[in-house]
Amino acid sequence: MNKVLLLGGTGFVGTHVCEKLARAKLQVTLPTRQLSHAAHVMMLPALTVLQADVHDERSLQQLVQGHDAVINLIAILQGDEQSFEKAHVALAGKLARACSAAGVRRVVHVSALGADARNPDGLPSMYLRSKSRGEQLLRAAAALDLSVIRPSVIFGAEDKFLNVFAAMQQVLPVVPLAGAHAQFQPVWVEDVAEAVVRCLQQSPHPGPIDPTYEACGPDVFSLKQLVQLAGQYSGANHGRGRPVWAIPDALARMQAMLMELLPGEPLLSRDNLDSMKVPNVATGHFPGLQALGIRPAALAAIAPAYLGHLGLRSSLMDKRKTAGRAT
């Protein structure tokens, strides 16, 4: 194993995967829709960044040529039926065909907890159904030596999950919360990235069923508990966090619909609410990170260090304001 094609390598997980591949001294090709998206990884050794449209089948086939393996991290969290189909299903099909044409067997595909490749139609959200169909297509490609990783929600210094809830609590007196009772088993981004690299370096799987791993942390939380912890870790309200008010489902859907009407990516869409109907915790039907020799880090061991900076920043601002008033 020497040359790896990394799809979606500029994102949250991808950045950590890039660093680990560089440390493993592998040569990495990273296509991106826009070169500026790769500015933060551009300086890594043995990394070739290029602008490409991976949805164009011919471009994808050219990209795959000459590599020993492909990692696929491309995904979207929000969109309509068509965009989920394009990013999660059609792309998986094109990738399977491109690998077959180029004779590339090793593929590591990051999916999501809650996906169910045996019964996509039974799932409640476009996100989960499309993730499941993407898995199905890759599994159907008999020549592939495939590993699938299904993470729960991922935390880390650059996450758009705990950071957002922590930032909210620096400015809002209370947090109105949709899906408050949804269950999660948050996993550290470094552990997910490590799992990707270990899957890549595993020897070919002998059995008829491609290995699937559930990437989860050691603890289960409700969304409400996670929001409360984000507030506390970030020092909001003198370390107590703000009160969190669970919004009833009907109101939550209305709130999500309004957010979807605003420009830009909504903080929460109706489809996200639908995804939360499936508990985002390990089913136990598949091996966890431990099977890859990874002992997943606890949220409490990692999140206070990076969320604490938010509180520090706002308490310095408070001090500056107070000092300003005193003079």
Ligand X SMILES: NC(=O)c1ccc[n+]([C@@H]2O[C@H](COP(=O)([O-])OP(=O)(O)OC[C@H]3O[C@@H](n4cnc5c(N)ncnc54)[C@H](OP(=O)(O)O)[C@@H]3O)[C@@H](O)[C@H]2O)c1
Considering the rule CB under 6 A, would residue 33 count as an interface residue with ligand X? yes
- Residue 263's CB: how many other CB atoms inside 10 A? 5
**Segment near ligand X (CB under 6 A); pick from 32-40, 96-104, 287-295, 314-322:** 32-40
Judged by CB under 6 A, the stretch of 69-77, 252-260, 263-271, 302-310 that binds ligand X is: 69-77
Which residue is at the shortest CB distance from ligand X? 11
Distance of CA 135 to the CA centre of its chain: 16
Binding mask 102-131 for ligand X (x = CB under 6 A): --------x-x-------------------
The stretch among 18-26, 31-39, 245-253, 290-298 that binds ligand X (CB under 6 A) is: 31-39
Minimum Å gap between C-beta 68 and ligand X is 21
Binding range to ligand X, per CB under 6 A, among 148-156, 241-249, 257-265, 266-274? 148-156
**Residue 71 binds ligand X, judged by CB under 6 A:** no
- Using the rule CB under 6 A, give the single segment among 72-80, 133-141, 196-204, 251-259 that binds ligand X: 72-80
Q: Considering only residues 108, 153, 252, 281, which one is a binding residue for ligand X as defined by CB under 6 A?
A: 153
Q: With binding defined as CB under 6 A, does residue 8 bind ligand X?
A: yes
- DSSP conformation letters of 169-215: HHH-SSEEETTTT-EE--EEHHHHHHHHHHHHHSPPP-SSS--EEEE
Other C-beta atoms lying within 10 Å of the C-beta of residue 58: 10
**280: phi then psi, degrees, rounded to nearest 5:** -90, 55
Computed on alpha carbons and rounded to an integer, the radius of gyration of the chain in Å comes to 21
Would you count residue 12 as binding ligand X (CB under 6 A)? yes
Site for ligand X contains 87 (CB under 6 A) = yes
Residue with Cβ nearer ligand X (138 or 154): 154
Q: Are 43 and 236 in contact (CB under 8 A)?
A: no
d(CA 283, CA 279): 9
Helices first, then strands: H and E counts in the chain: 12, 13
The SS3 assignment for 35 reads: helix
Instruction: State how far Cα 130 lies from the chain centre.
Output: 15
Of 111, 283, 252, give the one whose Cα is nearest residue 183. 283
For ligand X, the binding residue among 18, 41, 63, 75 (CB under 6 A) is 75
Residue of 3, 11, 27, 286 that binds ligand X (CB under 6 A): 11
The answer to whether the CB of 106 falls within 8 A of the CB of 1 is yes
Shortest distance, CB of residue 14 to ligand X, whole angstroms? 5
If one asks whether residue 54 binds ligand X (CB under 6 A), the answer comes out as yes
| C-beta of residue 252 within 8 angstroms of C-beta of residue 179 | yes
Q: Which residues bind ligand X (CB under 6 A)?
A: 8, 10-14, 32-33, 37, 54, 73-76, 87, 110, 112, 151, 153-154
